[in-house]
A and B are shown apart, each in its own frame.
Chain A
Amino acid sequence: MSVTIVPVGLLRPMLADDRLALAEAAGKTVAAVLADLKIDPDLVAMVLINGRQASKDSVLDDGDTVKLIPFVGGGRR
């Protein structure tokens, strides 16, 4: 098992996949995973773990789905 990372919106181009499976993320915090993936945490406005808002200090479990949501705020189409 692993942790699945789902980047949304402007975070999508930063990762290789729509759904990224990370084999060694269980036991790490969301913040640590963001650092591993070189994603600026300030761009991640909300973290959902299994559909529920979580904090960047939340520790991940095997099998978790983590949605990373930016607040784009708008711009050109």
Chain B
Amino acid sequence: MYGYGGSILRVNLTSGEIRREPLPQELARDYLGGRGFGAFLLYREVPRGTDPLGPENRLYISSGPLSGLLVAGAGKCDVTTKSPLTGGYAGASIGGMLTAEMKYAGIDVIAIEGKAARPTYLYIDDDRVELRDASAYWGKGSLTTEKALKEALGESFQIAAIGPAGEAGVAYACISHDFGRQAGRGGVGAVMGAKNLKAIAVRGTRSIPVAQLERYRELARAMYAACKAAPGLEAWQKYGTAGVTTWANEIGAFPTRNFRSGFFEDHSGLSGETMRAAIVVTDKACFGCPSPCGKYSYVRKHGVHVEGPEYETTALIGGNCALASIEDVAYANYVCDELGLDTISAGNVVAFAIECYERGIIGKADTGGLELRFGDVDVVCTLLRQIAAREGLGAVLARGVKHAAETFGRGSEAFAMQVKGMEMSGYESRHAPSMLLSYMTCDVGAHHNRSWAITYDIARGRDAVTPDKAAKVIELQHIRPLFDCLGACRLQWVELGLDLGHYAPIVEAITGLPRSWEDLLTISERVWNLTRLYWFREVPGFGRAWDAPPPRTYLEPVETGPTAGKRTSREAAERLLDMYYEQRGWDRDGRPTPAKLAQLGLAGL
């Protein structure tokens, strides 16, 4: 099959059975790859009601038709599973080199089920696939493990590993790769840990068949040239996502002190330029990327190397915990990376705990004598280590902010900043209705990446609660995750302004299947509806109430900064949902209608 590795690698950790199946052509045609494969297989193969940390849950690691080819940004991989954090769909995206290496080994999907009797790592060297003893690595940090496996196996192997947090089943443990890239959200690392799977090591040396070789080369060169000529390249390459920090503060969207405010008075110490001057050593790219936005940093103050911090980490661990020093944020980032913790969820949960302490909801008896306060990197890192070890207060915090609020009670549910059980990421959205709706309706929980719509609020008018805002969110929810199906990065489009018109032609040249951009968007809409069905199937009572924003949104106005005094009323949030459901062809409870499912070829599920 043109454009694909050609196989699903089935790994049963209980029985030790390993086999390759041919990739079904209809699967590639109708679901494209990456997140599409993950969603389809999860829905089909993981029985309703499966325990996310039990052996019946499956982990799907999927590349896409662009992965590993000479396409700008062709370095993204999807990781899909049933989430131990939310109980619903988890789909996380990881960059680096993994997706390419899998394709070169002839693999489109690594489908893992069961549970190994002992710590294990999956070894893939083209056709040679083995389950190997990982007891030497169990307990070690994810960065340490990656380095050790590269030393043991050779630099040409690509390694994905979990840290102690994944081993311990922390609900927001991540999978790490390429010394600083993560499949971050939804607890995908905990699923690996529950299976006693410490790491995956891949090497592949085959080539990928392409339908129209000359056309593909011509189109790939044109994409590359367009990226290199983009006026936005200079700033994007120099600062990466760290460039967002200053702007987020200017527009009052920077999470500060558990989202009490959207403005951090000390944000200048966290800016892109401050970061570059203080800690950045080099720019870092994923496979096939002409616009290296990764930043590899050395933090002299703490003596560690780390990739980052990315904007989200600076938002959730920086502003949200009121850390004013980029060196401190970078150090906490390193601690999360070694432990294998999603920095977004971790920063959110830590800030929540600090606010609970400030309000007297928890005290020294709960913290083992540790005084929790904002602005203290030692407090942050102590809590991170407790979370990874599930000790002390960490035992409660390890299950996520929703669970922590249910445990602490005393009104703390009102400021647990989560949707569907996933901690909210880096945009304070009480004066940004499109962004708020994005968080309410994202299909993994309160994550921004499906529909980064805040710029639309700025351009259109922040007060407007109008149908075009719902339309923009839906449009972005189809376009952005399409890249997760293609196995490529969307940031060449988002940040460099690369014309979307490049993509359908090159997908056709690679796969040989004539499909328009609209055809590809239909696949993305299909996947969107499928993950929605998954939530309805798996979460008892799932419906409109699960799309609700955190109560702080409507109960409390923003405390300081450009959006001080603003909030979004409950009525406005309901109106946003009504408009969204109507435009999506869903009923008033947010369930896809039979007509919509039939239109997308999902009838009968």
Contacts and interface: CB of A to CB of B under 8 A. Distances in A.
A41 B250 contact: yes
Interface in B239-260: 239, 243-244, 246-247, 250-251
B493 A74 contact: yes
B429 to A, nearest CB: 14
B494 interface: yes
Given A8-B232, A46-B239, A53 B273 contact: yes
Interface in B218-277: 231-232, 234-235, 238-239, 243-244, 246-247, 250-251, 268, 271-273, 276
A76 B490 CA distance: 13
A9 B231 contact: yes
Interface string B496-516: 010111000000000000000
Contacts of A70: 455
Given A48-B234, A55-B246, A77-B499, A43 B459 contact: yes
Nearest to B503: A77
B235 A53 contact: yes
A74 B459 contact: no
Interface string A3-41: 000101110000000000000000000000000000011
Interface residues of B, number: 38
A50 B178 CA distance: 33
Given A45-B243, A46-B247, A73-B454, A6 B238 contact: no
Given A56-B250, A71-B244, A46 B497 contact: no
B372 interface: no
A14 to B, nearest CB: 11
A48 B234 CA distance: 9
Contacts of A45: 243-244, 247, 455
B172 to A, nearest CB: 26
Nearest to B496: A9
B475 A76 contact: yes
Contacts of B499: 77
Contacts of B455: 43, 45, 70-73
Interface of B: 231-232, 234-235, 238-239, 243-244, 246-247, 250-251, 268, 271-273, 276, 452-456, 458-459, 472, 475-476, 479-480, 490, 493-495, 497, 499-501, 517
11 contacts: A40-B458, A42-B458, A45-B244, A45-B247, A53-B238, A67-B234, A70-B455, A72-B455, A73-B476, A73-B494, A74-B452
Interface of A: 6, 8-10, 40-46, 48, 51-56, 67, 69-77
Given A53-B238, A72-B494, 15 more contacts: A42-B250, A43-B455, A46-B246, A46-B272, A53-B239, A67-B231, A67-B234, A71-B244, A73-B452, A73-B453, A74-B479, A75-B456, A76-B475, A76-B500, A77-B499
